[in-house]
Structure 1
Amino acid sequence: MQLEIRPYRSEDLNALYEICMLTADGGKDATSLFDDKQLAGHFYSAPYGIFEADACMVVTLDNQVCGYVVGAKNSTEFAKVLEAKWLPELRERFPMPSGEVATLPQKIIRHIHCGYQPRPEFSEYPAHLHINLLPSLQGLGVGKKIMQAFIANLQRLNVSGVHLEVSSDNHGAIGFYKKLGFVQIAEFEHSLGFGLTLSLQGTTE
C-alpha cells in the first residue's frame, strides 16, 4: 500500500467529482440520490480544481486519488470568479426547484442559484477549504497529514488565514480541527465556524 500526498493536477478533476459524490451524503456514498452524478462536484469540488488549482492537495493510494483538500486562497475573490465564469451555465442547466427544497440534489441546486457567499464572520480568515477522504483512507492518519500539507501550501502562497464550517453535531470533525489548531470563531443555526491564523514564516500560530 503506497500513500502519497501531492499537489492537485488537472488530470485529477474527474477524481474530485467522483470522491465528492461518494462522500456527499454526510460522508457516505450519495450516488443513488442523484440523477446527475457530477452535480455535487459542480459546487463543492470541481471549481476549486479549475480556478484554485495551486491551493488544492490530493492523496493517492497506489496511484489512485482517494481524497483531497480543496480550497480558495481568497473567498471573496473566489465568489466573484464563480459568478463570472462558473455558476451562470450551471443555473441554465439546473433550474431552481419549485416548491419545497427537500432532497440533497435540490439543496445543491439551490446553492448553485444562491451562489457562494462568504460570511462576514470569516473576514479575518480569507481562505476556506473542503476535505473529503474515501473510507479506504480513514483511520490511517491521512486526514491530519493532508491538512498539514494544505496549510503549509497556503503559507507558501502568503495566505494569512483559513476558515471552515462544520455541522454543530459533528463532534468528531470538531475535535479533529481543534487538534490542528483551528479555533471556533462563530456559531450559526446548524454549524460552527472555525478559523486558523497562518504565519507567513512557515509555522502556524
Structure 2
Amino acid sequence: MLHLRRFRAGDEAALADICLRTADAGADATGVFADDDIWAAVFVLPYVERHQDLAFVVADDEDRPVGYVVGTDDTRAFEDWFARDWWPRAGSRWPRPAADDTSRQAGTLRYAAGRRAGAEPYGDRHPAHLHIDLLPEAQRQGWGRRLIDRLGVELRGRGVTGLHLVASTDNTAALAFYDRIGLERLPSHNGVQAFGRDLASL
C-alpha cells in the first residue's frame, strides 16, 4: 500500500525521476531538454539539500517514492542561498544560453540564474513555498492534499504564517486540484498561476 513518510537521504534519485516524469505541465518531460537533469537541479534537489526536514514522500510497497512535496519555510532566505551557493555549483554544468536562444531550456536556465530574494512577490504575504509532484499511480487518491497538509502543519509549528506555490497555466489538472483543495488564487504573471494558503487555519 502507498504510505506517507519523511524524505530520507538516498531518495534523491527517485525524486529527480518523479520531477522529470511530471515536469511538462504534469506530463513526462523526458527529452524536452538536451539534458534531463536540469529539471531536478532547479525544482527539487536544492530543496532536499537545504530542507530535508521539510520534504515528505508518498512511497509504494517497496518504500520507493512515487510522489513528494518539498519546500522552504523562508522563501527570501532560500532564494538567496540558491543564488549564492546552489546554482553556482549545480548550474555550472550548463553554459549560459545565448541571448537569441528562445528555447524552453534556455528560459529555464535563465530563470534559475536569475533567482534571488524578492524576485517574486508571493513570499511577502506567504513566506513559505512548495513544489509537489506525483506519478500517475499516486494521483486521484488524496495523496496530494495529504502532502500539502502535512507540510502545512510542519510549517505552522515553526510559526510560519502562509505558504504559496506556482503552477504553469498549461497544467489545467493541477490548477483544478489546487482550487478543489481550497488554495487561494493570487495575482500572477503571464503563463503561471500562483496559489496561497493561510496556515493559521490548519
Residue in structure 2 matched with residue 109 of structure 1 by the alignment: 109
Distance (whole Å) between structure 2 residues aligned to residue 170 and residue 97 of structure 1: 26
CA positional deviation for 1:158: 2.3
Residues 157/12 of structure 1: CA separation in 2 closer, same or farther (3 Å cut): farther
Residue in structure 1 matched with residue 96 of structure 2 by the alignment: 96
Partner amino acid, structure 2, of 1:115: R
CA positional deviation for 1:169: 5.1
CA positional deviation for 1:38: 1.7
Distance (whole Å) between structure 2 residues aligned to residue 9 and residue 91 of structure 1: 24
CA displacement 1:59-110 (0-9 Å, x = unmatched): 1011110011111110000011112211112343211111433433322222
**Percent identical:** 31
Distance (whole Å) between structure 2 residues aligned to residue 92 and residue 6 of structure 1: 33
| Residues 10 and 50, structure 1, Cα contact 8 Å, conserved in 2 | no
Q: How many residues align?
A: 200
Residues 121/28 of structure 1: CA separation in 2 closer, same or farther (3 Å cut): closer
Partner amino acid, structure 2, of 1:27: G
Residues 116/40 of structure 1: CA separation in 2 closer, same or farther (3 Å cut): farther
Distance (whole Å) between structure 2 residues aligned to residue 57 and residue 101 of structure 1: 36
Give the SS at the match of 2:185. Answer: strand
CA positional deviation for 1:44: 0.3
Distance (whole Å) between structure 2 residues aligned to residue 40 and residue 172 of structure 1: 20
| Residues 83 and 113, structure 2, Cα contact 8 Å, conserved in 1 | no
Q: Unaligned stretches of 5+ in structure 1?
A: none
The Cα RMSD (Å) is 1.9
CA displacement 1:18-75 (0-9 Å, x = unmatched): 1111112221222223343321100000000000111111110111100111111100
Partner amino acid, structure 2, of 1:82: F
Moved over 6 A (4+): none
CA positional deviation for 1:131: 0.7
TM-score, with structure 1 as normaliser: 0.88
Partner amino acid, structure 1, of 2:21: L
Alignment of 1:70-89 (within 5 A): 70-89=70-89
TM-score, with structure 2 as normaliser: 0.89
Distance (whole Å) between structure 2 residues aligned to residue 132 and residue 67 of structure 1: 6
| Residues 70 and 130, structure 2, Cα contact 8 Å, conserved in 1 | yes
